[in-house]
């Protein structure tokens, strides 16, 4: 799967994804089949089998997932924009030192203080969940497990798929702003993105699928203004932008501090419209639109646009892989924080 999308036709990729979908659905509907069948990259994706388990909290905090879900539901009901924000927060956490909740640490020079993190939201949701869990299961559930689960529940509440999550992530004690330098900001080349994803144990398919999270949520106009007025120093707009969309964005993004929906058509619906938008040259970020112009990613984007069930299924797979990214340093020297924004002393 490392080179999927290179030299494959859209029809071939649709067939490949259909097989994955059929196998996973069959396994979920048949317990005996589920036990005997190993679906590639489904549940034991990444290299976390020895560190993560589905039974970690079975005896120590049995209702952990129920508590997290109810809290996320409570917050998202009050502010639906928190759903995509929690997914993004989770990605930014896993992109640096693995999924160790280092993004949550709030101190001078932390990842959270970096420029790329300024627009991140959802910290108060995680803190609220942690406070509730400390009442029910003191010093038991890690903030890293909370954030990973909250991102899953946010996806479900936004209309997206559900997936099972193994637990046992440790909370890291180190968080450095300088380490966020490699996290994608939306201006990278496809090659740079592929290399970044591969460095995390993810592949081209994961890149295209996880980019589909942009089916919901917003971006700051600061992230796209260069495409509207001075693309690559030309003092002209990005020629790949649909002219009507360009006019729309120029009206919406007069100020860098404003925000604009990532999906201009169905902004609050978790669907495949994101991929359909790319065909019409109305991808918001440069990295979005480039997915449909690069031969390594275009066939995958094409395939995902045809069938929502394929996208939903593969999104679950890729999110499991993302959530299972672990850094040996955080796991070996990590802890279970009592408060998510500070290390234990």
Q: Measure the CA–CA gap between 225 and 230, rounded to whole angstroms.
A: 8
Q: Measure the CA–CA gap between 42 and 254, rounded to whole angstroms.
A: 43
We find that the CATH architecture of domain 63-217+262-323 is: Orthogonal Bundle (1.10)
Cβ-contact 171, 334 below 8 angstroms: yes
pLDDT at residue number 51: 83
Confidence of residue 205 (pLDDT cuts 50, 70, 90): very high
- State yes or no: pLDDT of 5 exceeds 70: no
DSSP three-state, residue 326: strand
For the ranges 40-49, 50-59, 66-75, 85-94, the lowest mean pLDDT is seen at 40-49
- 3-state SS record for 170-237: CECCCCCHHHHHHCCCCCCCHHHHHHHHHHCCCCHHHHHHHHHHHHCCEEEHHHCHHHHHCHHHCCCC
Residue with tokens 């909250």: 150
Residue from 71, 90, 92, 152 carrying the catalytic annotation? 92
Confidence of residue 36 (pLDDT cuts 50, 70, 90): very low
Q: Measure the CA–CA gap between 310 and 47, rounded to whole angstroms.
A: 25
Domain range summary for the chain, segments of one domain joined by +: 63-217+262-323
The size of the chain, in residues, is 345
Residues 217-272 pLDDT 10s: 999 999 999 999 999 999 999 999 999 999 999 999 999 999 999 999 999 999 99
Q: For the chain, first and last CA: distance in Å?
A: 44
Cβ-contact 263, 287 below 8 angstroms: no
C-alpha 125 chain-centroid distance? 17
Strand partners, 259: 220
Residue 343 is classified by DSSP as: -
For the ranges 24-28, 50-54, 166-170, 225-229, the lowest mean pLDDT is seen at 24-28
Residues 128-139 pLDDT 10s: 999 999 999 999
Residue 90 annotated among the catalytic residues of the structure: no
Name the region of 65 (left: φ>0; alpha: ψ -120 to 50; beta: rest): alpha
Cβ-contact 126, 150 below 8 angstroms: yes
Is 182 part of any known ligand binding site? Answer: no
Is 90 part of any known ligand binding site? Answer: no
Average pLDDT over residues 321-325: 98
- 3-state SS record for 257-272: CCEEECCCCCCCCCCC
Dihedral, CA atoms, 297, 300, 301, 305, nearest 10 degrees?
Answer: 170
Is 184 part of any known ligand binding site? Answer: yes
Residues 73-113 pLDDT 10s: 999 999 999 999 999 999 999 999 999 999 999 999 999 99
Is 327 part of any known ligand binding site? Answer: no
């Amino acid at each position: 799967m490392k080179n999927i999308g290179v030299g494959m036709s859209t029809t071939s990729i649709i067939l490949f994804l259909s097989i994955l979908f059929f196998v996973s659905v069959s396994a979920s509907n048949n317990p005996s089949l589920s036990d005997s069948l190993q679906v590639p990259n489904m549940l034991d994706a990444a290299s976390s089998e020895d560190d993560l388990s589905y039974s970690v909290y079975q005896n120590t905090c049995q209702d952990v997932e129920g508590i997290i879900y109810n809290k996320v539901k409570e917050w998202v009901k009050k502010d639906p924009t928190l759903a995509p924000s929690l997914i993004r927060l989770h990605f930014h956490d896993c992109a640096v030192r693995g999924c160790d909740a280092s993004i949550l640490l709030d101190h001078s020079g932390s990842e959270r203080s970096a420029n790329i993190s300024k627009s991140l939201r959802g910290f108060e949701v995680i803190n609220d969940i942690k406070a509730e869990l400390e009442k029910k299961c003191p010093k038991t559930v890690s903030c890293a497990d909370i954030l990973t689960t909250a991102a899953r529940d946010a996806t479900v509440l936004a209309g997206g798929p559900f997936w099972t999550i193994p637990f046992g992530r440790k909370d890291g004690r180190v968080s450095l702003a300088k380490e966020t330098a490699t996290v994608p900001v939306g201006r990278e080349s496809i090659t740079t993105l592929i290399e970044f994803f591969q460095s995390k144990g993810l592949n081209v398919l994961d890149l295209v699928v996880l980019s589909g999270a942009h089916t919901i949520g917003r971006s700051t106009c600061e992230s796209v203004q260069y495409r509207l007025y001075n693309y690559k120093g030309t003092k002209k707009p990005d020629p790949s932008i649909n002219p009507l969309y360009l006019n729309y964005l120029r009206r919406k993004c007069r100020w860098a501090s404003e925000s604009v929906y990532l999906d201009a058509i169905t902004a609050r619906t978790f669907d495949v419209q994101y991929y359909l938008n790319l065909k019409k040259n109305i991808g918001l970020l440069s990295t979005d639109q480039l997915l449909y112009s690069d031969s390594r990613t275009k066939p995958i984007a094409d395939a995902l646009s045809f069938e929502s069930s394929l996208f939903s299924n593969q999104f679950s797979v890729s999110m499991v892989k993302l959530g299972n990214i672990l850094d040996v340093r955080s796991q070996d020297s990590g802890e279970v924080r009592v408060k998510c924004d500070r290390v234990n002393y």
